[in-house]
């Protein structure tokens, strides 16, 4: 212990503090990364708008509680539903029409959708940061043996893992899940075998968006400054997390999320002189993984038929 303290100039308590922060952040990244990886696994496209769906969910929750005075637990449920719906709407209007178009078009459409959501939020809610409402108990600080922890931090990893297990159950043990796996393995064959591709894709987006909403709510409690661009950086990092874990692989996305979240917090904790560069950590991870294991930690090699 003393050796650790001597080397890193950090006490056990503050290390524990950083670990809590890192695990919380990692969990949030994991939840959002799942949405990216699921969509990429099925459609081979980056849903650029996913990050902005997180942002919209924050606003939904915020307005539900502060403007419409709906009790917070109800608001959260409504937010998840509304966000899932938003995800499906985006898929239907921006991605489905371009399914047979060249790859670049879908990419541009995704960028356009992202851009539109950001500008829409800016227009509707103004660019001024709004404060996410304080939730009784969850937003409060509690003291654990000298570590100051926001109550929500105890729930975040639990909720994330619960969502993960639920999702894995759906994917591995239900008919819908089997259809999802089939579509991501081979789109054409799945369609020929009678899988309703449109429905499966919509379900995928709905699930991914719902998880994003759960992440967004916890994010809002954790980091209450809500702006139209809050999703941008985390969105990039979460996609990178999905790539690090192995794009298309749900467990990989979670692992990637934790690596990126913990890494970001700990690097700044141990090397505070680099704190301005904390966002660069994710991109460095991206480069490393692309260089040494491009298919990601849990990914499989795909060969293109010539």
What distance in Å separates the CA atoms of residue 74 and residue 71, rounded to the nearest whole number? Answer: 6
Q: Which residue has the tokens 């303290």?
A: 5
Could you tell me if 171 and 180 are in contact, meaning their C-beta atoms sit under 8 angstroms apart? Answer: yes
198 binds another protein (CB under 8 A): no
Q: Map residues 226-245 to x or -, x wherever contact with another protein holds by CB under 8 A.
A: -------x--x--xx--x--
Shortest distance in whole angstroms from residue 29 CB to another protein: 15
Region from 19-27, 41-49, 187-195, 249-257 binding another protein, contact rule CB under 8 A: 41-49
303 binds another protein (CB under 8 A): yes
List the one residue from 8, 9, 11, 126 that touches another protein (CB under 8 A): 126
Residues 6+ apart with CB under 8 A from 226: 55, 58, 59, 62, 129, 130, 131, 132, 220
List the one residue from 13, 77, 89, 120 that touches another protein (CB under 8 A): 120
What distance in Å separates the CA atoms of residue 249 and residue 134, rounded to the nearest whole number? Answer: 35
Shortest distance in whole angstroms from residue 210 CB to another protein: 23
Q: Which is nearer to another protein, 97 or 146 (CB)?
A: 97
What distance in Å separates the CA atoms of residue 222 and residue 245, rounded to the nearest whole number? Answer: 25
What distance in Å separates the CA atoms of residue 29 and residue 219, rounded to the nearest whole number? Answer: 10
Q: Which is nearer to another protein, 23 or 113 (CB)?
A: 113
Shortest distance in whole angstroms from residue 133 CB to another protein: 24
Helix boundaries (H) for the chain: 2-8, 12-43, 50-66, 72-90, 103-125, 151-173, 175-185, 187-192, 197-222, 232-245, 250-270, 280-292
Structure tokens at 121: 């939020």
Number of residues in the chain: 306
List the one residue from 10, 12, 45, 70 that touches another protein (CB under 8 A): 45
Q: Which is nearer to another protein, 76 or 95 (CB)?
A: 95
Binding site for another protein (CB under 8 A): 40, 44-46, 94, 97-98, 101, 103-105, 107-109, 111-113, 115-116, 118-120, 122-124, 126-127, 233, 236, 239-240, 243, 276-277, 279-280, 282-283, 286-287, 290-291, 303, 306
């Amino acid at each position: 212990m003393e050796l650790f303290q001597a080397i890193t100039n950090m006490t056990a308590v503050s290390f524990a503090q950083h670990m809590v922060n890192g695990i919380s952040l990692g969990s949030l990244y994991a939840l959002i990364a799942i949405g990216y990886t699921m969509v990429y696994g099925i459609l081979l496209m980056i849903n650029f708008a996913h990050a902005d769906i997180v942002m919209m969910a924050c606003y939904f929750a915020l307005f539900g509680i502060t403007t419409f005075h709906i009790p917070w637990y109800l608001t959260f449920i409504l937010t998840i539903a509304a966000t899932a719906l938003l995800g499906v709407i985006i898929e239907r209007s921006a991605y489905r029409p371009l399914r047979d178009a060249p790859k670049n078009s879908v990419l541009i459409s995704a960028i356009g959708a992202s851009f539109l959501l950001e500008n829409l939020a800016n227009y509707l809610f103004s660019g001024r940061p709004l404060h996410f409402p304080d939730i009784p108990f969850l937003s409060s600080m509690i003291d654990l043996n000298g570590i100051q922890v926001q109550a929500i931090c105890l729930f975040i990893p639990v909720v994330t893992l619960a969502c993960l297990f639920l999702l894995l159950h759906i994917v591995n043990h239900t008919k819908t899940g089997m259809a999802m796996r089939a579509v991501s393995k081979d789109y054409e064959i799945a369609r020929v075998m009678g899988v309703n591709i449109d429905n499966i894709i919509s379900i995928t987006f709905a699930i991914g968006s719902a998880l994003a909403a759960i992440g967004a709510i916890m994010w809002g409690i954790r980091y209450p400054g809500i702006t139209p661009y809050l999703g941008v950086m985390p969105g990039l990092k979460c996609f990178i997390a999905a790539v690090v874990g192995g794009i298309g692989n749900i467990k990989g996305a979670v692992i990637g999320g934790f690596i990126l979240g913990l890494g970001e917090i700990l690097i700044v904790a141990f090397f505070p002189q680099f704190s301005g560069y904390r966002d660069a950590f994710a991109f460095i991870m991206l480069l490393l993984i692309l260089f040494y294991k491009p298919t990601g930690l849990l990914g499989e090699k795909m060969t293109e038929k010539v």
